[in-house]
Amino acid sequence: MSERRSSESGFPINGVYTEADLPEDLDSRLGGPGEFPYTRGVYPTMYTSRPWTMRQYAGFGTATESNARYHQLLRAGTMGLSVAFDLPTQMGYDSDEPIAHGEVGKVGVAIDSIEDMRLLFADIPLDKVSTSMTINAPGSVLLLLYQLVAEENGVPGAALNGTIQNDILKEYIARGTYIFPPKPSLRLVADTFAYCRKEVPKWNTISISGYHMAEAGATPAQEIAFTLANGVEYVRAALAAGLAVDDFAPRLSFFFVARTTLLEEVAKFRAARKIWARLMRDDFGAKDPKSMMLRFHTQTAGVQLTAQQPEVNLVRVAVQGLGAVLGGTQSLHTNSFDEAIALPTEKAARLALRTQQVLAYETDLTATVDPFAGSYVVEAMTAEIEAAAVELMERVADHGSAVDAIEAGFQKREIEQSAYRIAQEIDSGERVVVGLNRFTVDEEEPYEPLRVDPAIEAAQAERLARLRAERDGDAVARALADLRAAADGTDNVLYPMKAALRARATVGEVCGTLREAWGLYRPTDRF
């Protein structure tokens, strides 16, 4: 008899499941598709009326290069754009600042000012595409630049669709691209909620992310527990700022990973929807059904890709994408097979998109809603993950709040313990990774990765020098002073921030002004 396996979340997986393994309250746990508690999906028809949005995360080097990639993806059939920013932009630094040296354009596109944003979206119809921007601490800054460019092209804020990640809490837990301390960071998030409700009403103001925690080693149960706990903190911050729950909650969205453990991933997505629906209705008194719907984007698991035999990643990504679709995602990014080596080549990015298109148009996945509903194994796993996630959320709450737990290092320690266990299992061979610790080859085929030209940094510095020489310096100084006054007070900072960006203040100057007002976050001061 084979050894009994455990799930990624730690509960045992039975060799056989029967009706006896189903939760006793299955009917109430399920509901119908598009009905509370949304276990079966947030919309009644799901993919039977239209497939999920196919996004491809892209951005590298200069805005002009990234713009060319976006046009290629749109021609290939991408339905939404997903922008990757370089590390200096993510940290709120201009490309010519000393701290940015060596990182300009490396992991995404460098955006220093409205001029770069104009190039990034040149000749792209912003009223017809949906754009997701993976940006957190300076998320409001990049959103305003996007809105300004749209307005220059005659597209009002009311016509814009998209998402900014804007999830600062997970940065303290797993990723590290924070700027300000938690309290002013939460204020900035709440100001963005209020601004978008009035000025960009169809924009998703936050994408509360478990993806990066999963990439850092979180189990599926940890991923949804810590993500939803962060979601609770954002809801509380918005309520404390005077917003009504049904005024902002319908625009909240989430971002999860899809691993190769397909059955558990499907169960994870279904459990997350159920937990969030109950939280919003019972704990926060939401009345609008849209406030209770956990809508989410999924990205396939980059951490599971290998540099060894990279073509095998095509298979991994297909399985991961399948899990996301069976779990009911609203949009999906499929990683390119070469991303464990370098930025994806054009061919690899196209193959990643074709993977989604095969799932959508050559399979019968879009013929019916929630194909696993009633499955002995998936329903049992859904209940197991839900119970484990709720228990972890209670442990977060025991600290007082998600921020208190972050400052105590709770989530970070839990994830690091899981990551260490996974690394040990891979090293010992207990966890099989094809091509890495089993089924290896003596020699790898040569592969030529995409490389970013180091001259980009100098070119960005020249553009910044020209911008500062040509703009009205006094107007910029006045606008930044207005921003500082709002940051020191209680006014919504996005309105003076937009004025400063329109006057051609740079991303670094805007973020630097907020640094002066709010200070920097240093983990060693807290833990």
A 10 A CB-CB count for 109 gives 28
Contact 227, 213 (CB under 8 A): yes
| Phi, psi (deg, nearest 5) at residue 293 | -85, 120
Query: Helices in 156-210 by DSSP H: which ranges?
Result: 169-170, 182-199
pLDDT confidence bin for 60, thresholds 50/70/90 = low
Alpha-carbon distance values, 393 to 186, 200, 223, 470 (Å):
20, 32, 11, 52
pLDDT tens per residue across span 253-269: 999 999 999 999 999 99
* Closest CA relative to residue 106, chosen from 457, 366, 359: 457
Confidence of residue 2 (pLDDT cuts 50, 70, 90): very low
- Residue 258: strand pairing partners: 300
Q: Tens digit of pLDDT for each residue in 182-198?
A: 999 999 999 999 999 99
Q: What does each C-alpha distance from 470 to 216, 466, 467, 478, 507 come to in angstroms?
A: 44, 6, 5, 16, 17
Q: Which one-letter DSSP state was computed for residue 73?
A: H
Bridge partners (DSSP) of residue 5 are: 13
pLDDT value at position 58? Answer: 65
Work out the pLDDT band at 1, boundaries 50, 70, 90.
Answer: very low
Strand pairing category for 12-13 and 5-6: antiparallel
For residue range 434-469, list pLDDT tens digits in order. 999 999 998 877 777 666 677 899 999 999 999 999
Residue 84 — φ and ψ, nearest 5°?
Answer: -100, 130
What is the torsion angle, in degrees rounded to the nearest 10, for the CA atoms of residue 453, residue 455, residue 459 and residue 462? 160
Q: What is the pLDDT of residues 69-81, one digit of tens each?
A: 889 889 988 878 8
Could you tell me which residues are beta bridge partners of residue 162?
131, 203
Question: Helices (H), strands (E): how many in the chain?
Answer: 21, 11
Whether the Cβ atoms of residue 499 and residue 482 lie closer than 8 Å to each other = yes
Average pLDDT over residues 191-214: 96
Q: Which of 384, 395, 383, 392 is nearest to 222 (CA)?
A: 392
Q: What is the arithmetic mean of pLDDT over 392-417?
A: 96
Average pLDDT of the segment spanning 483-511? 98
Cα angle value 460/464/470 (rounded, 5°): 145
pLDDT digits (tens, 9 = 90+) for 150-167: 999 999 999 999 999 999
368 residue type, one letter: T
Q: Rounded mean pLDDT of the chain? A: 94
Cα–Cα distance measured from residue 325 to residue 298, given in angstroms and rounded to the nearest whole number = 9
For the chain, list the domains and their CATH numbers: 36-428 (3.20.20.240), 471-518 (no CATH)
The pTM of the whole model exceeds 0.75: yes
Residues 6+ apart with CB under 8 A from 378: 263, 266, 267, 270, 372
Cα 9 from Cα 162, distance rounded (Å): 32
Instruction: Give 60 or 141, the one with higher predicted confidence.
Output: 141
Write out the H or E segment, with its range, that includes residue 445: none
The DSSP 8-state label assigned to residue 454 in this structure reads: T
Confidence band, pLDDT 50/70/90 cuts, at residue 334:
very high
Confidence of residue 345 (pLDDT cuts 50, 70, 90): confident
N residues, the chain = 527
pLDDT of residue 257: 98
User: Which of 217-226, 288-297, 339-348 shows the lowest per-residue confidence on average (mean pLDDT)?
Assistant: 339-348
Collapsing DSSP to helix, strand or coil, 284 comes out as: coil
- The strand order across the sheet containing 252-258 reads 203-204, 161-164, 130-134, 80-84, 53-58, 331-333, 296-300, 252-258, 206-209
The 3-state secondary structure of 366-408 reads HHCCCCCCCCHHHHHHHHHHHHHHHHHHHHHHHCCCHHHHHHC
Per-residue pLDDT band for 87 (boundaries 50, 70, 90) equals: very high
Determine the pLDDT at residue 525. 47
pLDDT, tens digit, for every residue of 375-391? 999 999 999 999 999 99
According to DSSP, residue 164 is labeled E
Measure the CA–CA gap between 467 and 464, rounded to whole angstroms.
Answer: 5
